[in-house]
Amino acid sequence: MCTCITYLNNDFYFGRNLDLDCSFGETVTITPRNFPLVFRQAGQQDHHYAMIGMASACDSFPLYAEAVNEKGLAMAGLNFPGSASYKKAVGEGLELASFEIIAWILGKCASVAEAEEYLGEMKITDTAFSDRMPPAPLHWMLADREKCLVIEAVEEGLKAYENPFGVLTNNPPFEYHRMNMNNYMNLTAENPQNRLSDKLDLKPYAQGMGAIGLPGDASSTSRFVRAAFLKWNSVAPEEEKASVSQFFHILDSVAMVRGAVVTEQGTYDITTYSCCVNTRTGVYYYKTYDDSRVRAVDMHETDLEGSALIKK
């Protein structure tokens, strides 16, 4: 399971929990402007925007789980098994393999608005990165300070939804989560009022009772609601340290604790890492399951004119 959120608190932040039962070789990776991005069907970007994110260690292509480019455009892939439907490449139009879409969009586009111009013609193909790396069934959240989208490649084709929540988790498709949020509009961070009956003497006896009914489990739909409730009620001083700390508190509230989520294979899903990027400064903050110290990698501290992937 995974949860991705945006957070506006003076600066604009983007990040996610990556929940999985094993490592995928995750390494903080910077793709500098002159690293040749070679796509299977969509040509080559020899010069492009630089980006930073978590990728599977690989020298030939940045296999990002999520990344942010130097213009402040951010994108993350989250599991979408059974719902994602990729097409066979036929050599026509704009065809991108599922593992290429993050690098392609962030390499080329400075904003969501710019990316939207390509979505109409885009097709996601089922091309595998390698024999050992078949395509991962994903959907994506794409965001900048102005706008947030969910991109889903389903049976009928590529769909893009505006995402006013700035939250994404996993199955079912986004339209379900959007509708489901209506069920929770009564939740409040304040003390609840007795609306049951004015003939009954009902009153709050502790703090936090306005949000009774907020789902506490690890399912995708529950994490969506919980992350949205916490994010939209969040209050933090508009300073970098406070914003990043607040961001991780929200992610912590939807994190997997080892043992609480057993997969069909009998393994345990855990929050392998949590990350938060300041999209203006390009600083990538992250912490891992066994090390809660927050580390920071500043993309501008490396030579962004380089031509080889930089692993931190």
Ligand X SMILES: C[C@H](CCC(=O)NCCS(=O)(=O)O)[C@H]1CC[C@H]2[C@@H]3[C@H](O)C[C@@H]4C[C@H](O)CC[C@]4(C)[C@H]3C[C@H](O)[C@]12C
Query: Is residue 109 within the footprint of ligand X (CB under 6 A)?
Result: no
Contact residues for 268 (Cβ-Cβ < 8 A; gap 6+): 21, 258, 259, 261, 262
Per DSSP, the three-state class of 242 is helix
Residues 205-244 that bind ligand X (CB under 6 A): 220
Closest to 310 measured CA to CA, from 107, 51, 72, 110: 51
Query: Is residue 99 within the footprint of ligand X (CB under 6 A)?
Result: yes
CA distance 170 to 172: 6
Query: Is residue 150 within the footprint of ligand X (CB under 6 A)?
Result: no
Binding-site member from 5, 18, 230, 256 for ligand X (CB under 6 A): 18
Residue 280 or 312 having the CB closest to ligand X? 312
Binding-site member from 81, 157, 208, 237 for ligand X (CB under 6 A): 81
Residue 24 or 176 having the CB closest to ligand X? 24
265 backbone φψ class: left, alpha, beta (φ>0; ψ -120 to 50) = alpha
CA distance 71 to 142: 13
Instruction: Provide the minimum distance between the beta carbon of 171 and ligand X in the complex, in angstroms, as a whole number.
Output: 6
Query: Is residue 276 within the footprint of ligand X (CB under 6 A)?
Result: no
CA distance 172 to 84: 10
Query: Is residue 6 within the footprint of ligand X (CB under 6 A)?
Result: no
Residue 11 or 62 having the CB closest to ligand X? 62
Among 129-137, 142-150, 157-165, 185-193, which window interacts with ligand X (CB under 6 A)?
129-137
The residues with which 130 forms a beta bridge, in sequence order, are 133
Residue 101 or 148 having the CB closest to ligand X? 101
Binding-site member from 42, 84, 136, 148 for ligand X (CB under 6 A): 136
Q: At what angle are helices 101-108 and 112-119 packed, to 10 degrees?
A: 120
CA distance 2 to 78: 6
Query: Is residue 133 within the footprint of ligand X (CB under 6 A)?
Result: yes
Query: Is residue 78 within the footprint of ligand X (CB under 6 A)?
Result: yes
Residue 23 or 183 having the CB closest to ligand X? 23
Catalytic residues: 2
